Amino acid sequence: MELSDYIQFVLMPQVINGLALGIAVTLVALGLTIIFGLLDVINMSHGEFYAIGAFGAISLGALGLNFWVMLALVPLLMAPMGVLAERVLIKRVFNSKDRHVATLLVTLGLSLILEDVLRLVYGPNTHRLDAPISGASEFFGVLVPNYRLLLILVGVGVICAVSFVTYRTRLGAMVRAAAYDRSMTSSLGIPVDWVYAGTFAVGVSLAGLAGVLLAPLYSVFPTMGRDFILLAFSVVIVGGMGSIVGAVIAGLALTQVQALASLVISPVWTDPIVFSAMVIFLMFRPQGLFGRLGHA
Amino acid sequence: MRDEQSRSIRVSHAFLLLFCACALVAAAIGAVSGNSFYLRLATEALILAGLALSVDLLLGYTGALSLGQALYFGVGAYVSALVLLQTASFWLAMSAAGAASLLSAFIGGLIANRVRAVYFTLITLGLSQVIGKVVYNTRELGASDGIIGIPVIDIGIGGWSVSAADPTGFFLVVLVFIVILYGALAYLLETPFGRVLIALRSNEKRVPFLGYSVWRARMIAYVLAGVVAGLSGALYPMLRGFVSPELMSFSMSSNAVVAVLLGGAGTLVGALYGSVLLVVIKSIIGSWTEHHLIVIGALFIWSILFFPRGLMGMIIPYFLKRPSEEQSTVQVPSNVSLSGEAK
């Protein structure tokens, strides 16, 4: 095979598949990382929120709703869930002696419940969602499936919007201030409690959005969050816990490593590689590539 | 003079006796009624208790939460299975599993003990997932099916011989084994080294000022916990006749964490009660619905929110109060609030 053919028919499609997955992983990781950056909470139930997003798309799709409506509706419906989880569960252990461990354990318990609820409602089998658009477009001789292109565009748009709100608006300044110094922010009259609940809700909605976007590409089943969340954790750790830029860069880089490595070795071995990257970063640079939200 | 810690360990011993008495009654009922299913289940609960003990040593005493302790449990189980396939020797399998988990926990400890607090939790989770995935994809280890067809062995203890196929006999062997593990850990905690571990949980920053190496203490605790998990895991293939990657999975690790917190972190005996409680709840609920995780998850959250000390952490202080010192608010060294802040 010619080198140009290899690039056109093997390498580039793989890069684009990796890019589509990378954008979705980044969305999930973004939620995880802002929740950690602001609330100092490792959300172990984040993968289940991702699964709820995908199942929400299945349910609403069965009602005959348009995919575009779902794309907006599912994250909106999930926001109250996030507020509820933060107000009812996380807030209660937020001021305990070791916040990290206590909140991690509570969200771990929540993930057990959510996963089983999904299994109860939808059964253990896999579901599939039809892509709203089919076909493929050609760019410089490389065929790109239209749906993946759409996913990339929507994802990039959302990521840009989140960074814009965080770094360029008054609301984002409030969030960053609350992450930096809680009591000072509170004394300036900012309702820090609601900033926390809102941020948690946004994180959860982002996971739900990623679930909707990936539902047409991968099969949907109750434990789908488990493997995916480890990938998202790896992204968050490599990028730096609490860093938005870090999540984007690490999300794209790690999924490219996965996509390209699977050309050389069996795809089943790419997961251990990505998780090893997480372990190595934790060993030598636990703060990740970039610093955390509000601290840099 | 005995301090808080010694006294709470003594109360813990009393509850261990109660635990053993209940276990013996259960074994007697099982042997008479010939109901091997429940004895097998009880044996599995005891094996889980071994894993929970190892989590409790880390969480309850040094204050480090490990979400990957099933890794060493799995290493013990796989090594034991591989040895048993070659030669049907209980002691050989146990010592091989102990050595393998010692070695792997040493390597794992070198990696995991570079970081603290929540990063430690994540690195243990990551490590167990890496190895878990590798085992899951290695055909020589049976890949996703695991290793099946492990022969039933006879366990020679002194002059006696117990067959692993005998539910009552094997249950008693596992019981004795878990009690030995408990005893070893309880003894360790009463030594000066044990006090260093507890000091780590209370205030890690001050430990170096007292002249102790934090890293060394953490390392020893981690390796010991790995060996305890590995030895417990080694019993598993003898009970069920197979091993699977599920034994190293995150759900196995989180089961042990749930058991420890339900039973009461930092009480040692709580790990045993918690494991039995967990298995009992699972089998009771499992008899009418397969969705037991909802109940376990809810119970777990409820326990963390309202009873962060767990079952034994609430009961033991009651026995520690003496009339002469009613004014002192007794603080049992058991809490889920763990090591210091993250870096």
B123 Cβ partners below 8 Å, 6+ apart?
A279, A282, A283, B111, B112, B114, B115
Nearest CA distance, A2 vs chain B (angstrom): 33
Q: Which CATH architecture does the domain made up of B4-249 adopt?
A: Orthogonal Bundle (1.10)
d(Cα B134, Cα A268) in Å, to the nearest integer? 9
Task: Determine, for residues A96 and B336 on separate chains, whether the beta-carbon distance falls below 8 Å.
Answer: yes
Nearest CA distance, A85 vs chain B (angstrom): 12
Q: Is the CB of residue A45 less than 8 Å away from at least one CB of chain B? A: no
d(Cα A203, Cα A86) in Å, to the nearest integer? 11
Partners of residue B288 in chain A, C-beta under 8 Å: none
Measured from the Cβ of residue A15, the count of other Cβ atoms closer than 10 Å reads 17
- Report residue A228 as tokens: 């995916």
Q: Is the CB of residue B110 less than 8 Å away from at least one CB of chain A? A: no
Q: Which of B126, B258, B337 sits opposite A278 (nearest CB)?
A: B126
Find the helix or strand (DSSP H, E) in which B342 lies: none
Q: Which residue of A has its CA nearest to B110?
A: A283
A48 Cβ partners below 8 Å, 6+ apart?
A110, A111, A114, A115, A118, A225
Task: Determine, for residues B304 and A102 on separate chains, whether the beta-carbon distance falls below 8 Å.
Answer: yes
DSSP string, B185-221: HHHHHHSHHHHHHHHHHH-TTTGGGGT--HHHHHHHH
Nearest to B27 by CA among B18, B36, B14: B36
Nearest CA distance, B114 vs chain A (angstrom): 6
Task: Determine, for residues A278 and B122 on separate chains, whether the beta-carbon distance falls below 8 Å.
Answer: yes
Does A294 score more than 60 pLDDT? Answer: no
Q: Which residue of A has its CA nearest to B112?
A: A283
B316 Cβ partners below 8 Å, 6+ apart?
B8, B11, B12, B15, B264, B267, B332, B334
Question: B2-47 pLDDT, tens per residue?
Answer: 677 788 888 888 888 898 888 888 888 888 887 788 888 889 999 9
Pair B165, B36: CB distance under 8 Å? no
Task: Determine, for residues A105 and B336 on separate chains, whether the beta-carbon distance falls below 8 Å.
Answer: yes
Task: Determine, for residues B115 and A226 on separate chains, whether the beta-carbon distance falls below 8 Å.
Answer: no
- Provide the b/e sequence for A162-199 (b: ≥16 CB within 10 Å): beeebeeeeebebbbbbbeebeebeeeebebeebbbbb
Task: Determine, for residues B254 and A112 on separate chains, whether the beta-carbon distance falls below 8 Å.
Answer: yes
Q: Is the CB of residue B285 less than 8 Å away from at least one CB of chain A? A: no
d(Cα A284, Cα A280) in Å, to the nearest integer? 6
> A169 lies in which domain range?
14-124+133-222
Q: Is the CB of residue B130 less than 8 Å away from at least one CB of chain A? A: yes
A123 Cβ partners below 8 Å, 6+ apart?
none
Pair B299, B281: CB distance under 8 Å? yes
Pairing of strands A142-145, A136-139: antiparallel
Find the helix or strand (DSSP H, E) in which B243 lies: strand B242-243
Whether the CA torsion A282, A286, A287, A290 is positive or negative: it is negative
DSSP string, chain A: --HHHHIIIIIHHHHHHHHHHHHHHHHHHHHHHHHHHHH----TTHHHHHHHHHHHHHHHHHTT--HHHHHHHHHHHHHHHHHHHIIIIIHHHTTSS-HHHHHHHHHHHHHHHHHHHHHHHH-SS-B----SS--EEEETTEEEEHHHHHHHHHHHHHHHHHHHHHHHSHHHHHHHHHHH-HHHHHHTT--HHHHHHHHHHHHHHHHHHHHHHHTTTS-B-TTHHHHHHHHHHHHHHHH-TT-HHHHHHHHHHHHHHHHHHHHHS-GGGHHHHHHHHHHHHHHH-TT-SS--TT--
Partners of residue B134 in chain A, C-beta under 8 Å: 272
B62: DSSP letter? I
Q: Which residue of A has its CA nearest to B128?
A: A275
Task: Determine, for residues B137 and A268 on separate chains, whether the beta-carbon distance falls below 8 Å.
Answer: yes
Pairing of strands B160-163, B154-157: antiparallel
Q: What is the pLDDT at residue B343? A: 35
Task: Determine, for residues A108 and B300 on separate chains, whether the beta-carbon distance falls below 8 Å.
Answer: yes
Measured from the Cβ of residue B205, the count of other Cβ atoms closer than 10 Å reads 9
Q: How many interchain CB pairs under 8 A, A with B?
A: 130
Question: A49-96 pLDDT, tens per residue?
Answer: 999 999 998 888 888 888 888 888 999 999 999 999 998 888 888 887
A residues 117-156 closer than 8 Å to B (CB): 117, 119-120
A residues 103-122 closer than 8 Å to B (CB): 104-106, 108-113, 115-117, 119-120
Nearest CA distance, A290 vs chain B (angstrom): 15
The C-alpha angle with vertex B248 and arms to B68 and B51, in degrees rounded to 5, equals 65
Q: Has residue A273 been placed in a domain? A: no
Q: Has residue A216 been placed in a domain? A: yes
Task: Determine, for residues A101 and B336 on separate chains, whether the beta-carbon distance falls below 8 Å.
Answer: yes
Pair A289, A250: CB distance under 8 Å? yes
d(Cα B45, Cα B274) in Å, to the nearest integer? 9
Q: Is the CB of residue A48 less than 8 Å away from at least one CB of chain B? A: no
In the numeric block, the tokens 């509706």 are attached to A73
Task: Determine, for residues A113 and B298 on separate chains, whether the beta-carbon distance falls below 8 Å.
Answer: yes
Task: Determine, for residues B301 and A233 on separate chains, whether the beta-carbon distance falls below 8 Å.
Answer: no
Q: What is the pLDDT at residue B342? A: 38
Task: Determine, for residues A269 and B296 on separate chains, whether the beta-carbon distance falls below 8 Å.
Answer: no
Task: Determine, for residues B297 and A112 on separate chains, whether the beta-carbon distance falls below 8 Å.
Answer: yes
Find the helix or strand (DSSP H, E) in which B35 lies: none
- Report residue A285 as tokens: 């640079």
Name the β-bridge partners of A138.
A143
Q: Has residue A288 been placed in a domain? A: no
Domain count along chain A: 1
Task: Determine, for residues B305 and A275 on separate chains, whether the beta-carbon distance falls below 8 Å.
Answer: no
Q: Which of B63, B126, B294 sits opposite A282 (nearest CB)?
A: B126
Mean pLDDT of A218-227: 84
Higher pLDDT, A239 or A140: A239
Low-confidence ranges of chain B (pLDDT < 70): 1-2, 321-343
Higher pLDDT, A22 or B337: A22
B129: DSSP letter? H
d(Cα B132, Cα B250) in Å, to the nearest integer? 9
Nearest to B74 by CA among B240, B252, B271: B252
Find the length of chain B: 343
